[in-house]
Amino acid sequence: MTEALTIQQVSRLTGLSVTNLRYYEEIALIDPVPRDESSGHRRYPPDMVERIESLAHLRAAGLPIDAMRTLIAARGHGPQTIATKIHLLETHREQVDTEIQALLARRDYLDNRIAHWRARLADDPAAADALDDQAGALVERLA
C-alpha cells in the first residue's frame, strides 16, 4: 500500500470502527491524522495504517488501552524494549488464563446442573442427589 486511505477504508481493513479510530486519535494512541487539504477528511498514510493494524490485533487479544500504549511506545528491538514487551504480554496472558479458568468453572457448573435435571427427568433421584453433592464444590470454583 502506497497511498493514504480514508477512515472508512482503514475501518474496513482493520475491523476497528470509525468511532474507535477517532477515539484512538483523540487519546493520542495514534498520532494526529493528516487531513486532505481540500476536503479536510482524514487521510491515513501507510505507516500509520500499519500501526493501527497492530493496535487492532492487540485490541482483539483483549489488551487494555494503557497496555496498548506501552507496547506501541516500546519501539525498537533493544534488549530492554523487548523485555518490556515480553513482560507486558506475559502479564496479559496470565489475566487471560485466569479468565479461561473462570469460564471453565462456569461451564463445569452448567454441565452439572444440566446432568442434574436430566437425572430428574429420567426419574433417577440417586444420580440427581449425587450431582447436587458435586455442585457445592463447583459453586466454590465460581467465586
Looking at residue 2, its pLDDT comes to: 78
The answer to whether the CB of 52 falls within 8 A of the CB of 59 is: no
- Whether 48 and 88 map to the same domain: the answer is no
- Rounded to an integer, the average pLDDT of 24-43 is 95
Q: Which of 73, 100, 119 is the last residue of a domain?
A: 73
3-state secondary structure of 93: helix
- Whether 96 and 60 map to the same domain: the answer is no
For residue range 69-112, what is the model confidence (pLDDT) as tens digits?
999 888 888 999 999 999 999 999 999 999 999 999 999 999 99
Looking at residue 139, its pLDDT comes to: 94
Burial label for 58, CB within 10 Å (0-12, 13-18, 19+), is buried
Q: Which of 47, 73, 99 is the last residue of a domain?
A: 73
Looking at residue 1, its pLDDT comes to: 65
The answer to whether the CB of 112 falls within 8 A of the CB of 131 is: yes
Going from the C-alpha of 71 to that of each of 15, 29, 53, 66, 78, the distances in angstroms are 20, 11, 13, 9, 13
Looking at residue 133, its pLDDT comes to: 95
The Cα–Cα gap between 116 and 125 comes to 9
- Host domain of residue 19: 1-73
Looking at residue 76, its pLDDT comes to: 83
Whether 26 shows a pLDDT value over 70: the answer reads yes
The Cα–Cα gap between 77 and 92 comes to 20
- Whether 51 and 89 map to the same domain: the answer is no
